[in-house]
Amino acid sequence: MRVLVAEDNPIFQVILETLLRDWGYDVVLVSQGEDALEVLQAADGPQLAILDWFMPGMTGMEVCRRVRAGVTSRYVYMLLLTGRSQSGDVVSGMEAGADDYLTKPFNAQELRVRLYAGRRVLTSLGRPQQEVCAQPACP
């Protein structure tokens, strides 16, 4: 499955790209919010996205807002990954349209299972309920 990673920090770029490839994802990496939006707007764009909050230009939160405003043709499951850890930040991020929220520093295994939860949601949007429930909890 393809996943978009929008992150400008070189350390998080390396960690995320390596972990995700190790878990079997095809990674599309960008470092600016505008580029993230362009990738997600493509007809065959990824339906799973990890977005940093602070990036040059458009923030991850703004990307969430625009995606939810309907600029993509398919549902995109978006996870905000950010150093902002106040509960007010979580509320703002999810009100902007993020499906999930993970704070930095992050635990790799926590990210793995949260992404899998996202995949279950995406699957449930495209399959009958019974089929979704029959899936294993995690690979």
Partner 1 sequence: MDQLKQDLGAKFVVDLVHTFLDHLAATLTVVAAASATGNLGIIAKEIHSLKGSSRQLDVEVIGTICEQIEILAKENKLREVQLLIKRLEEESKAVRRVLSAYIEGLSDEPPVQ
List contacts with partner 1 (CB under 8 A).
8-12, 14-15, 18-19, 22, 54, 83, 104-108
Give 11 or 137: the residue with its C-beta nearer to partner 1: 11
Residue whose structure tokens are 């990673």: 5
Single out the residue of 75, 110, 81 nearest to residue 93, CA to CA: 81
- The minimum distance between CB 120 and partner 1, in angstroms, equals 22
Q: From CA 19, how far away is CA 26, in angstroms rounded?
A: 11
Least CB distance from residue 82 to partner 1, whole Å?
9
For the purposes of burial, counting CB atoms within 10 Å of the CB of 79, is it exposed (0-12), middle (13-18) or buried (19 or more)? buried
Closest approach of partner 1 to the CB of residue 27, in Å? 14
Q: Would you say 83 or 139 has its CB closer to partner 1?
A: 83
